[in-house]
Amino acid sequence: MSGGGEPQHAGDMAAQLALSPENLKAVLGEAGTSLANLVRLNVCITSLPEQG
């Protein structure tokens, strides 16, 4: 998501996954914490692209 909440890289799962850690760092920073305090992270993928 962009800073304004708009989805980014529609249809490009690799780009979305690459952006995820940066978004997580930003959200944690806004909450006054960091990845150093993260104990566990679960990832749920709702649809996988076709594998050829």
Range of the structural domain that residue 20 is part of: 1-52
Q: For the chain, how many structural domains are there in total?
A: 1
pLDDT at 34: 94
Residue 23: other Cβ atoms inside 10 A:
14
Supply the Cα-derived Rg of the chain in whole angstroms: 13
Give the tens place of pLDDT for each residue, 4-52: 777 788 878 888 888 888 889 999 999 999 999 989 988 777 777 655 5
pLDDT at 43: 79
